[in-house]
Each structure stands twice: as structure tokens, then as C-alpha cells.
């Protein structure tokens, strides 16, 4: 009865019955056997159960967390319930989808394995017999007493039979779930659930089914992230459970000191003693030959020995005794051979590398599960797969992408950890090829990869003994000993070494002494904060064991005595005197007659301890009006020393308000100087005094004074002296473009370049007749590496710079003008020659932009990191940067280029469009907008070309079945988006190709089952009607004509950054003609009127069909609104409001322009009448159809607000 009520129609009854049932099952746990069969039947698709019955059954099986029936029952119930839940009929009902997802998550999170094998020792049977033998005192006083020997012998094999039964149920459950997981007819959500349930069946006591393991191995290269994650975890777990057994034996501690083992009493000599010296890293005592390495016994347990010893210290036997691990292909089982052969398959291996390197999010870090997989492979199969992963590492380590570096760090960590028990010959061969690769990776490491490599080194060192890792430690010490000019490179190498040595704790004191010695040879006082911090952290870590009561055996060498705090402080103590002297507050005399003392002792702000709260306003004003006085020279010297601090303060590792305060001070100071210069010039030219106190003429700023100020503050003063600013900026930019080790320098330089790019493009000749304009061409040629989608900050800045340049510079090849014209200056000749590179520059930028689209599209397909094409969610900031930056650059290229160079760009876009389709909303929108720009800027050349391609693709992707699909393929949405944008052209091109346009509309407008496809298709109708009925500005043909003129007629380099001449500019407008209106009326007659007629009788109409009708009408009205007369009849104002007739509306079209009607009837009135009757029907019969009602309201708003004639 409770099951029937719990699966009934009304939710309140269901919830109460389910709660009662759960509570009953707590008291009577085996009662589930009487109801589980009924619940399973309700989930069987063949029984055609209602949604309420399915939901009720799912709730009763999976709700209430740990009290859920699925989790409390054993294999017998799971054998029935798990396949039934997976095989439940697929439903698009959101409540059932959410319930299935919630059930899956709950089961996976709370699942606990049941024992299959029970072993009861004989001593427990003796105790049980003694309990039964008790009489009065025992509450278990059994009426039947001890069972007879005959009964005991009869049931002796019960546990064996139970094991056989449970084992059979386990394998039967795995088999059913496997068949469901491989069922091609099952919905992907249910396949995903079957895989999740199979991942729960990994056990230590029963071998995992081989067919299931083979499935997981194949799923390592599955397209979905979740399947790959589960496969990685399962295969890693299987490898860990089935690894060859390592030989272990007791570590014999030589010369064990008294009071250091079990039962030790305080005081205990903790520290470095003679008995634990055998565990410490000593270079001289390390094995030298292969034989010595194989006989050497390592101990990876760092916590033993420093304080006390265990009774028995069990650790790994020497490498030479690990024969079980030293296997060949012939020693592998069938399953193991399958795994090895699969990883050796080049196609599988390459695909795995590609998929594992795809970032799921921007901040992906070292993945411990991936590391476990790689460690398991090398632990189980020693060096059988080394050749495969060597090829992977060679590719990944050379890649600049952060995701590739992350995967490389995971493979390296797994390889080194998995190989620690190989015999030394195998390890030596591995280090022979791994050492150069690691050296290259650490040398060229970028900031985003540093953290992952740091975790890699720390993981390796934390799982092994220091002496095992001598090759790795040699690499790290060689790197920090190698000189480098990059502060980031120095601190990152020190970071890796420090992170690794920390894991060894007290055992590597000799190496910590070596680190301190190396740091003492370098300059402890460094310019960059990140390097200073890392050196300080390393010194602090090195002095960890400088404890007051630590014990050192008397006969230990100095190399095993830890660095002391006093020694570390002594390395930089001598440099602190000047620092304290500079920061110490002194009593200064601000009234001193000496100008030098005035500048040094002037205090602007409040003194707090050793710091001053600087008053930026007061300081800026003081410095500004001290310029031009007797202390001008000394002031400039001091100011220049302040500006030299900018590079240090702007380093990304600096924290606090220093950077912000410095930038704010520079900004305020620049504005103050500019204000003073304007004030002085105003006083010179004005007959009336404009200020209360005039600046004396001898103190006024000359151009020499301004140049002296501008020289050190180039970033803020571009508008004052461009001839000084531009060389200084270029001196910063060019070296930054060439450096690979300090990306922050490039970003800072590009941010400066953004501010001066307009000045660079319109620079005028100086006294020597030279300009800096040629650098604009050189920079466009050099900025391509800045388009890096792994660093969106740099990418945004590069888009801004290139966008400014291509929109200000006419992209015309003027190189032949050097031969054709005789009136060119030397600067113009040089610039004309440089324009020959425009062809290759445009080609490179287009290739880069389109390759970024490919990477984005592939990332969306593999990881879901970006929004897919069907998603309603908004794009993130990275998507906006890629989209808007691409359109800005492409629009500038298409608008400002000659026809020849326009074709270079557009041909690449056309070829890309013909070859690629991606399930990515960002890429779809960006490519559609690029098509729109290409067609808009040169419709006579590009419209027919692009339109024909898009129409042909739509005809190929839309089949008869497409019209009945509720979710169409993403390719259909892609091409509908392209069609919408390509048809936004002047009406003349629509009329010339009317038959093709009409055929396209007939192809796409019947799409009514898929709402998104309907929206896209009706948007195409809107674009066509908007082109026919609206008044809009046409693209000026003179721009393209001027760019295509002969070099004798016009020289494009003389028109850089040219502005429009308002006196001669004659804009051209499109005003609808009668032919335009006739074609629009034809579309209304053939496509809109049938929808209105269908809505006149909505009874029995499907919701999707009704939505299609409303959307089509709305988009048609929206597109044609500029030519639709407003409603007929008088206007009525709101209560106590003036009538709309009293308001004069601006006229948006000529009076004699034709209007659009339906056989003489007002279109708005016809649509309004139809919508009024439809709303009446919806409110009366379909009040739950909220979407249709909402769209009708939107349509009514469109009718009233988009007035066209007088809006």
C-alpha cells in the first residue's frame, strides 16, 4: 500500500508515504525484499509507467542519503535496482532529469562496499561457545543450547557458499551494467550513469571483470570530460591493486644509540646522531657503480630516526632483489598485455595526449589522479612504455601552452615515482633521455607552468628517498648554478629546488648547506621583489633545524651541521645599514636657505613611525611649481631617481599599495604640469588676467623645462612632447617583444604602446624630416605572438593596439611609388617600401585569428570549457575579448584596405568557412560577424560568394527529418547564424538575387520543432525585411575607390589618420523604393498571413507550432517596422497625462516614401487583432503555456514601440 501511495499522482501524498516507508525499513531492514520487485517494475520502460510513478520509485530507491534503500541493501537488491535505474525510460521532463542526476550523485558519494568473503577465526568460535554455555548470568541464554556437532559440520561451508553467491551476484551486476554502458540505443545520461555505477565496483578482494576494465581503458580517450575522469580513476586504482608485489625487509640500524627506541624516556638526544647518519644524503658515500646501486637499501620513511626508532624498521629491499618488478612482455597477463598494447597504439596515444592536455578551466593545476595513472603504468610495466611517453614529453615540453606543461609535469612525476624500484640499469637508461628534457623544461619555464612543475618536484621528492633522486637533484643544482639575467628564471629554479628539499626534511642538511653557499655567492640584495622573497624563504627553510636543544654527535663533519640563523642573517646584515639610514625619520629644517636641503627635508604628509603618509595632491603641486625656479636642476635629478623605481615597483610579485600610489602620483603630477603649462599660455594670450597670482615671466616653463620633465615620465606625457615619448616607448617595446622569460615586461610595454599608438600613426615630420610612422608597420609585423589565448590580458592589449593601427592606417601597398614618383622624401620612400609587408601582415593576422577560432572550437567540443552553440548562458570575459578583438581587427582590415589586400583577408575567411563547423557559441558568433563585416564592406564582391556557400551548406545539413527534430544538429544552428548575418546587405543585392533569397527562406522557415532553430530562421526573415524596409546609411564607395587609385593619382601614406572633411562628405542613404516594398509585401503574403490564419484557430495546436507562428510574425513586424504605418484611429493618453497627439515626433522617413500594407489594411491593426483573440484563447484554455503568452506580450510591445514612420 505504501508503495502505491508513494507512486500516486499527488506529490503531498507521495512524500508522506515515502517518509513512512523509509522509517519502517529502518526498523525492518529485510522488508525491502517484498517491495523492491514492484519498484523495479515501475522503472521498466515496457510497463509504460507514468511520470509520477517513475519519480516515486526513484525517490524510494535513492532518497534519504545513507538511509536510501539502494545503499542499505546488499548485492541482491543492487542487482535488481541498479540496472533498473539505468534502464529507466528517458524523459525530457526536468524534474526526472534532476532526480536521476541527484540519485547518481548521491549513490556515488555515499556508496559503501559489502563484504564478499568472511573469515571467522577459531578463537571467536570458542568465545561464542563459552557465551552460550553460560546459564543464568548470560542474557543470551539460548533455549536450544549449543548446536550439535552434526549441525555444525553440516553448516561448515556456509561462508564458502555465501562467498560464491555474492561473487556471482557481483559479476552478474557488473555484466548487466557493462551491457547498458555499451548500449548504442541508450541516452547519454543513462550511459553516463551506468559508467558511474561500474566505477563503484572496484574491489580489493575480488578481481575486477576484465571486459569492464577494457572498456575503461578505451574510455581514456573518450570525448566527454566526465568519462575520461572516471576512466583515469578506475584504471589508476586497478593498476595500484594489481601492481607486482615489492620485496620488503628489516633495516638493520648500525650502532643504535641507547634510549632511542621503544620505551625511550626524556631527555632524548634528538637530532643528527651516529645511528641515523646512515639515512642522510652524503655525496661522497653514495653508490658509484650499478652493482652498488642495486645492493644499496633505501628508506623513504622520513619521520624515523631523527627522534626515535621503531621496534622494527621495515622498508624496501635493495633494487637487486626486486625481481617481481623487473618483468618483460612475456611475463604479463592477458589483461596487462592489452593495456600495454593499447598505450603503444600511436593513434590512441596521440589522442590521449591531446585530450589530457585540454584545460577544463583557466586555473587548472596538477592533477593527482592523472599522476596516479602514470605512476601505476610505470610501477606495473617498468620501462615497457618509456618510448611512448618519451615521445609525448618531447612534444609537451617544447609547447608554450600551460596545459601541455601541466600534463608533462604529471607524466614526469608518475615516471620518476613509478621507476624508483626498477633495477639501476633501467633507471640509468631512463635518466639518460629524461635529464635533457627536464633541463629544457625548467630553463624555459613560464609563470603559469611554475606551480605545476613545483608540485611535480615536491610530489616526487615526497614519495622517494633523497639518495634515490640524485639525478634530479643534480639537474636542479646545475640550474641554480647557471647564470641568468632573468629574475623570474632565477627565482623559479630556486623555487623548484627549495620545494623539493623541503620534502626530505632533516636528511638533506648537506644539500641545504650547499644552497646557502650558492646564495652567499650571489648578490643577496636583489632588484626584483620575487627573487628577494624566494631567496629569503630559502634561507629561512635552510635554518629550520637551528633549534636550541638539537643534538649533533661530536664526530659529525661540518657538512652535516645545519645552517644557523646567525649565519643566514650575516649574509645580508652588512647591507642593512644604508637601508635603515634611508628610512629613519630625521628632523629636517624646511626653512633652510639651501635649495638642496629644501628638497631633501620637505615633508608632505604625516609621519607615522618610520613611514610617511604621502599627500599626493600636495606633493604634485609642490613639485610642479618648483619647476623653473632656482632649484629646477636638482628637482629634476631627484624626480628622475623616483621614476627609475617604476620598473621595480611594477613587478607582478609586488603586493600592497606601493604600485597604486606610485601610478597615482605620476598621473597627478602629469596633470598638474599640464595644467600649469595651459595656465601660462593662457596668461600670455589673454588680455584679461585669469588667475589671482600671475606666474613671474622668469619662472615660466619653457619647452626645455617640459622636455626635461617628459624624458623620465614618457608613459604619462605623450600629448606634450611626442618626439621624446615615442623613441623612449619604442626602446621599451622592441626588447620586450623579443624576451620570452619575462612576460610581465611585454604586457607592461604593450600597455604603454596602447596609449601612444594613435600618436604613432599620425606622427608628423620633425626638423630632420623624419617620422616614426614606419615603426607602426614594424610593430604590426611583430605583435603576432601577443595573440595568446592562454594569456587574455596580453591578448586584449594586442587587439587594442592592432585595432587602432589598422583603423587609422590605409592598408595599401605603396612600394612601387618609389619607382613611379619623384616627389617623395627619404622618410616617405622608406615608409612606401615598408608597406610591401602589408600583404604578409594581413595573411599572418588572419591565419592567427582563425587558428584561435579552431582552438576555441575544439576546446568547446572536448571539454565543455566554453559555451556550446545551443546554450542560453552569457559568454564569459575571455569569450568577449576574443570576439570583440577579432571583429575590431578584421573590420579595420576590410574597411581600410585596397581591393587586393581585402581579398587576401576575405579569401582566408571564405576557405575557413567552407572547411570548419564548431559547436561553440563564441566561435559561431565571431565567424558570423566576420562574414557580416566582409559582406558589408564590399558587397558587390563578397555577397553572392558567401551567400551561395551558406545556402549550399544549409541545403546539405537540413533533411526531411530535421523538420521533426526537437533538437537539431549544431551544424544547422551554425549555418542559420551565418545566413542571418550574410543577408544584412543593402536591398539592391537582395533584389538582384531574389530567387535564391526566397528559396533560402522557404528552406528554413518551416523549422518549428526546435525552438532555437525557429529563432534563428525567423531572424533571417527579419534581416531580409529590414534590408528592404529600413532607412540606413550605406557604406561609402569613395573609401575603396581612393584605396584603389593609382599611385600617381593618390599616395595612401599621406593620408594616415586622415579625418573626414565635413564640407565635402556626402553620405548615401537607402530609402525604400516601391520595388522594395512590393518584395516585402510578397514575404508578408506568403509567410506571415498563413501564420495569422493558423492562429485564428489555435484549438489543439502544439506548443512548439504556436511558438513558431508567434516568433515568425514578431520578427517580420520587427524587420518591416520602419515601413509600417502606425495604428489607425485616435491616440489616447494616459489618465492625467497629455495626449500623444500633443507630442511632436521626429519624422524618420520622407513623406513620399511608400508604405507596407496587407491589401490596403494596416499591418499593425491586423496583427493586433489576431493577437488579441489569441491571448483570450490562451488565458481561457492554456494559462500554463507561459512561453507563448510571454512571446505574445513581446509582440504587442514590438507593435507599439517600433513605430517606424514617426519614431
3-state secondary structure 1129-1185: CCCCCCCCCCCHHHCCCCCCCCCCCCCCCECCECHHHHHHHHHHHHHHHHHHHCCCC
Q: Residue range 4-25: average pLDDT?
A: 71
Q: What's the pLDDT at 714?
A: 55
Q: Could you give the C-alpha distances from 241 to 204, 248, 316, in angstroms and in order?
A: 7, 17, 18
Q: Residue range 53-75: average pLDDT?
A: 73
Top pLDDT among 1038 and 925 is at 925
Listed in sequence order, the residues at least 6 apart from 480 whose beta carbon sits closer than 8 Å to its beta carbon are: 490, 493, 494, 497, 515, 518
Place of cell 604603454: 752
Q: Residue range 909-929: average pLDDT?
A: 89
Top pLDDT among 604 and 404 is at 404
Q: List the single range of 220-229, 563-572, 745-754, 887-896 with lowest mean pLDDT.
A: 745-754
pLDDT one-digit tens code per residue, 491-505: 888 899 988 888 888
Q: What's the pLDDT at 526?
A: 66
Residue among 1025, 1191, 1179 at smallest CA distance from 1106 = 1191
- Quick one: what percent of the chain has pLDDT higher than 90? 17
pLDDT one-digit tens code per residue, 338-375: 999 999 999 999 999 888 888 666 667 888 999 999 99
pLDDT at residue 485 is higher than 80: no
List the Cα angle 137/143/145 in 5-degree steps: 80
Measured CA to CA, the distance from residue 924 to residue 908 in angstroms comes to 16
pLDDT at residue 136 is higher than 60: no
Q: What's the pLDDT at 715?
A: 45
pLDDT one-digit tens code per residue, 270-297: 888 888 888 888 888 888 888 888 888 8
pLDDT at residue 920 is higher than 50: yes
pLDDT one-digit tens code per residue, 506-521: 888 888 888 888 887 7
Top pLDDT among 716 and 114 is at 114
Q: What's the pLDDT at 988?
A: 92
Q: What's the pLDDT at 720?
A: 45
Cis peptide before 32 (omega within 30 of 0): no
Top pLDDT among 452 and 2 is at 452
Top pLDDT among 209 and 611 is at 209
HSE-CB of 105 using CA atoms within 13 angstroms: 6
Residue among 586, 758, 742 at smallest CA distance from 651 = 742
At residue 78 the predicted structure's pLDDT band, cuts being 50, 70 and 90, is confident
What residues form DSSP beta bridges with 314?
250
Measured CA to CA, the distance from residue 562 to residue 584 in angstroms comes to 35
Measured CA to CA, the distance from residue 1181 to residue 1106 in angstroms comes to 14
Top pLDDT among 251 and 177 is at 177
Q: List the single range of 15-19, 426-430, 940-944 with lowest mean pLDDT.
A: 15-19
Within 10 angstroms of residue 235's Cβ, the number of other Cβ atoms is: 22
HSE-CB of 60 using CA atoms within 13 angstroms: 32
Top pLDDT among 1 and 445 is at 445
What residues form DSSP beta bridges with 846?
none
Q: What's the pLDDT at 579?
A: 55
> Rounded to two decimals, what is the model's pTM?
0.52
| Domain regions of the chain by residue span | 390-405+425-573, 618-646+659-683+696-711, 836-1023
Q: What's the pLDDT at 339?
A: 93
Q: List the single range of 626-640, 698-712, 1150-1164 with lowest mean pLDDT.
A: 698-712
Most confident of 550-559, 610-619, 838-847: 838-847
Provide the H-helix boundaries in 644-714. Answer: 646-649, 658-685, 703-710
Q: Could you give the C-alpha distances from 307 to 265, 266, 277, in angstroms and in order?
A: 11, 11, 13
Q: Could you give the C-alpha distances from 179 to 173, 191, 194, 211, in angstroms and in order?
A: 10, 10, 9, 10
Q: What's the pLDDT at 410?
A: 93
Q: Could you give the C-alpha distances from 157 to 154, 161, 167, 237, in angstroms and in order?
A: 8, 6, 15, 32
Listed in sequence order, the residues at least 6 apart from 863 whose beta carbon sits closer than 8 Å to its beta carbon are: 225, 358, 359, 360
Do residues 384 and 429 make contact, with C-beta atoms less than 8 angstroms apart? no
Taking all residues of the chain, what is their mean pLDDT, rounded to a whole number? Answer: 80
pLDDT at residue 229 is higher than 70: yes
Q: Report DSSP letters for 574-636, one per residue.
A: GGHHHHHHHHS-----TT-S-HHHHHHH---EEEETTEEEE-HHHHHHHHHHHTTSTTHHHHH
Most confident of 145-159, 482-496, 569-583, 1070-1084: 1070-1084
Q: Residue range 823-830: average pLDDT?
A: 86
Q: Residue range 456-460: average pLDDT?
A: 91
Q: What's the pLDDT at 660?
A: 64
Q: What's the pLDDT at 1141?
A: 45
Q: Residue range 689-718: average pLDDT?
A: 64
Residue among 553, 619, 687 at smallest CA distance from 280 = 553
pLDDT at residue 880 is higher than 70: yes
Do residues 1108 and 1014 make contact, with C-beta atoms less than 8 angstroms apart? yes
pLDDT one-digit tens code per residue, 594-631: 333 333 333 344 433 333 445 667 777 888 888 888 78
Q: What's the pLDDT at 55?
A: 77
pLDDT at residue 1138 is higher than 50: no
Q: What's the pLDDT at 992?
A: 92
Amino acid at each position: 500500500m505504501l508503495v502505491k501511495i508513494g507512486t500516486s499522482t499527488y506529490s503531498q501524498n507521495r512524500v508522506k508515504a515515502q517518509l513512512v516507508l523509509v522509517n519502517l525499513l529502518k526498523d525492518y531492514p529485510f522488508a525491502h525484499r517484498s517491495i523492491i520487485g514492484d519498484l523495479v517494475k515501475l522503472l521498466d520502460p515496457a510497463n509504460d509507467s507514468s511520470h509520477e510513478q517513475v519519480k516515486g520509485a526513484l525517490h524510494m530507491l535513492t532518497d534519504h542519503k545513507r538511509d536510501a534503500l539502494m545503499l542499505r541493501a546488499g548485492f541482491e537488491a543492487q542487482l535488481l535496482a541498479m540496472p533498473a535505474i539505468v534502464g529507466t525510460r528517458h524523459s525530457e521532463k526536468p524534474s526526472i532529469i534532476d532526480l536521476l542526476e541527484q540519485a547518481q550523485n548521491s549513490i556515488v558519494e555515499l556508496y559503501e562496499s559489502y563484504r564478499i568473503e568472511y573469515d571467522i577465526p577459531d578463537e571467536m568460535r570458542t568465545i561464542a561457545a563459552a557465551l552460550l554455555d553460560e546459564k543464568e548470568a548470560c542474557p543470551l541464554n539460548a533455549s536450544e543450547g549449543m548446536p550439535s556437532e552434526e549441525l555444525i559440520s553440516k553448516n561448515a561451508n556456509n561462508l564458502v557458499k555465501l562467498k560464491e553467491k555474492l561473487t556471482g551476484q557481483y559479476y552478474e551486476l557488473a555484466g548487466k551494467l557493462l551491457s547498458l554502458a555499451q548500449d548504442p540505443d541508450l541516452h547519454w545520461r543513462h550511459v553516463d550513469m551506468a559508467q558511474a555505477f561500474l566505477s563503484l565496483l572496484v574491489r580489493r578482494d575480488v578481481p575486477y571483470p576484465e571486459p569492464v576494465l577494457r572498456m575503461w581503458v578505451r574510455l581514456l580517450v573518450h570525448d566527454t570530460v566526465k568519462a575520461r575522469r572516471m576512466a583515469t580513476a578506475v584504471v589508476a586504482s586497478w593498476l595500484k591493486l594489481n601492481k607486482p608485489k615489492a620485496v620488503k625487509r628489516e633495516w638493520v640500524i648500525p650502532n643504535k644509540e641507547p634510549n632511542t627506541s621503544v620505551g625511550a624516556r626524556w631527555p632524548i638526544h634528538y637530532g643528527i646522531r651516529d645511528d641515523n647518519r646512515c639515512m642522510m644524503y652524503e655525496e661522497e658515500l653514495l653508490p658509484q657503480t650499478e652493482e652498488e646501486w642495486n645492493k644499496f637499501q633505501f628508506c623513504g620513511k622520513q619521520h624515523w630516526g631523527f627522534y626515535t626508532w621503531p621496534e622494527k624498521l621495515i622498508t624496501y629491499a635493495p633494487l637487486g632483489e626486486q625481481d617481481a618488478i623487473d618483468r618483460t612482455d612475456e611475463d604479463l597477463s592477458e589483461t596487462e598485455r592489452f593495456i600495454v598494447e593499447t598505450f603503444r597504439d600511436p593513434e590512441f596515444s596521440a589522442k590521449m595526449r591531446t585530450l589530457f592536455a585540454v584545460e577544463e578551466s583557466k586555473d587548472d593545476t596538477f592533477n593527482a589522479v592523472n599522476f596516479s595513472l602514470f605512476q601505476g603504468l610505470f610501477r606495473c610495466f617498468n620501462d615497457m612504455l618509456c618510448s611512448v611517453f618519451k615521445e609525448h614529453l618531447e612534444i609537451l615540453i617544447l609547447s608554450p601552452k600551460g596545459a601541455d606543461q601541466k600534463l608533462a609535469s604529471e607524466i614526469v612525476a608518475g615516471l620518476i615515482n613509478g621507476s624508483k624500484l626498477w633495477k639501476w640499469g633501467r633507471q640509468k637508461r631512463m635518466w639518460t633521455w629524461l635529464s635533457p628534457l627536464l633541463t629544457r623544461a625548467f630553463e624555459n619555464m613560464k609563470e603559469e607552468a611554475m606551480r605545476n612543475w613545483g608540485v611535480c618536484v615536491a610530489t616526487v621528492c615526497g614519495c622517494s628517498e633523497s639518495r634515490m633522486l640524485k639525478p634530479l637533484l643534480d639537474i636542479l643544482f646545475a640550474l641554480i648554478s647557471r647564470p641568468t639575467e632573468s629574475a623570474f628564471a632565477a627565482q623559479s629554479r630556486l623555487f623548484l629546488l627549495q620545494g623539493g628539499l623541503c620534502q626530505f626534511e632533516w636528511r638533506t642538511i648537506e644539500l641545504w648547506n650547499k644552497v646557502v653557499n650558492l646564495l652567499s655567492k650571489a648578490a643577496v640584495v636583489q632588484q626584483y621583489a620575487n627573487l628577494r622573497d624566494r631567496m629569503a624563504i630559502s634561507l629561512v627553510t635552510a635554518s629550520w633545524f637551528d633549534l636550541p636543544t638539537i643534538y649533533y654527535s661530536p664526530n659529525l663533519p661540518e657538512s652535516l651541521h645545519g645552517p644557523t640563523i646567525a649565519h643566514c642573517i650575516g649574509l645580508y646584515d652588512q647591507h642593512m645599514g644604508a637601508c635603515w639610514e634611508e628610512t629613519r625619520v630625521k628632523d629636517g629644517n624646511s626653512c633652510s636657505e639651501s635649495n638642496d636641503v629644501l628638497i631633501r627635508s620637505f615633508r608632505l604628509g604625516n609621519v607615522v613611525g618610520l613611514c610617511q603618509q604621502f599627500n599626493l595632491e600636495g606633493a604634485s603641486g609642490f613639485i610642479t611649481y618648483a619647476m623653473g625656479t632656482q632649484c629646477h636642476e636638482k628637482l629634476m635629478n631627484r624626480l628622475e631617481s623616483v621614476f627609475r623605481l617604476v620598473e621595480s615597483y611594477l613587478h607582478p610579485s609586488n603586493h600592497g599599495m606601493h604600485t597604486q600610489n606610485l601610478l597615482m602620483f605620476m598621473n597627478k603630477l602629469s596633470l598638474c604640469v599640464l595644467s600649469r603649462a595651459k595656465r601660462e599660455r593662457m596668461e600670455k594670450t589673454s588680455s584679461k588676467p585669469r588667475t589671482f597670482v600671475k606666474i613671474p615671466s622668469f619662472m615660466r616653463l619653457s619647452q626645455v623645462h617640459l622636455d626635461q620633465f617628459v624624458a623620465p615620465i614618457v608613459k604619462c606625457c605623450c600629448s606634450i612632447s611626442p618626439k621624446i615619448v615615442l623613441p623612449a616607448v619604442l626602446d621599451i617595446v622592441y626588447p620586450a617583444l623579443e624576451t620570452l622569460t619575462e612576460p610581465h615586461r611585454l604586457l607592461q610595454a604593450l600597455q604603454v604602446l596602447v596609449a601612444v599608438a594613435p600618436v604613432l600613426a599620425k606622427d608628423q615630420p620633425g626638423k630632420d624630416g623624419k617620422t616614426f610612422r614606419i615603426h607602426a608597420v614594424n610593430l604590426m609585423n611583430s605583435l603576432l605572438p601577443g595573440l595568446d589565448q592562454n594569456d587574455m590580458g596580453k591578448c586584449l592589449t594586442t587587439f587594442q593596439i592592432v585595432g587602432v593601427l589598422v583603423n587609422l592606417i590605409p592598408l595599401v601597398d605603396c612600394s612601387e611609388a618609389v619607382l613611379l614618383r619623384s616627389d617623395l622624401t627619404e622618410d616617405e620612400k622608406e615608409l612606401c617600401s615598408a608597406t610591401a609587408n602589408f600583404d604578409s601582415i594581413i595573411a599572418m593576422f588572419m591565419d592567427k585569428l582563425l587558428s584561435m577560432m579552431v582552438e576555441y572550437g575544439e576546446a568547446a567540443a572536448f571539454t565543455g570549457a566554453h559555451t556550446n552553440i545551443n546554450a542560453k548562458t552569457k559568454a564569459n570575459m575571455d569569450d568577449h575579448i576574443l570576439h570583440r578583438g577579432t571583429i575590431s581587427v578584421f573590420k579595420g582590415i576590410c574597411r581600410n584596405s585596397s581591393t587586393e589586400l581585402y581579398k587576401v583577408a576575405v579569401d582566408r575567411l571564405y576557405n575557413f568557412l567552407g572547411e570548419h563547423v564548431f559547436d561553440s557559441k563564441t566561435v559561431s558568433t565571431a565567424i558570423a560577424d566576420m562574414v557580416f563585416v566582409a559582406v558589408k564592406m564590399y558587397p558587390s564582391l563578397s555577397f553572392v560568394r558567401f551567400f551561395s556557400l551558406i545556402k549550399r551548406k544549409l541545403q546539405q545539413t537540413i533533411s526531411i527529418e530535421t523538420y521533426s527534430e526537437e533538437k537539431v544538429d549544431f551544424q544547422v544552428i551554425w549555418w542559420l547564424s551565418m545566413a542571418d548575418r550574410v543577408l544584412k546587405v543593402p536591398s539592391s543585392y537582395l533584389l538582384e538575387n531574389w530567387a535564391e533569397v526566397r528559396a533560402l527562406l522557404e528552406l528554413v522557415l518551416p523549422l518549428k520543432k526546435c525552438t532555437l532553430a525557429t529563432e534563428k530562421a525567423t531572424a533571417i526573415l527579419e534581416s531580409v525585411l529590414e534590408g528592404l524596409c529600413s532607412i540606413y546609411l550605406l557604406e561609402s564607395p569613395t573609401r575603396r575607390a581612393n584605396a584603389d587609385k593609382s599611385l600617381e593619382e593618390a599616395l595612401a601614406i599621406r593620408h594616415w589618420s586622415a579625418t573626414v572633411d565635413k564640407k565635402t562628405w556626402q553620405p548615401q542613404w537607402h530609402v525604400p523604393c516601391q520595388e522594395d516594398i512590393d518584395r516585402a509585401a510578397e514575404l508578408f503574403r506568403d509567410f506571415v498571413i498563413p501564420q495569422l490564419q493558423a492562429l485564428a484557430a489555435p484549438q489543439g495546436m502544439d506548443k512548439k507550432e504556436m511558438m513558431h507562428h508567434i516568433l515568425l510574425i514578431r520578427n517580420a513586424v520587427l524587420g518591416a517596422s520602419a515601413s509600417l504605418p502606425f495604428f489607425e484611429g485616435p491616440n489616447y493618453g494616459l489618465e492625467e497625462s497629455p495626449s500623444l497627439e500633443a507630442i511632436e515626433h521626429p519624422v524618420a522617413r520622407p513623406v513620399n516614401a511608400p508604405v507596407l500594407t496587407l491589401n490596403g489594411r494596416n499591418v499593425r491593426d491586423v496583427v493586433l487583432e489576431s493577437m488579441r483573440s489569441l491571448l483570450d484563447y490562451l488565458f481561457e484554455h492554456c494559462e500554463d503555456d507561459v512561453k507563448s503568452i510571454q512571446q505574445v506580450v513581446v509582440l504587442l510591445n514590438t507593435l507599439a514601440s517600433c513605430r517606424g514612420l514617426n519614431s
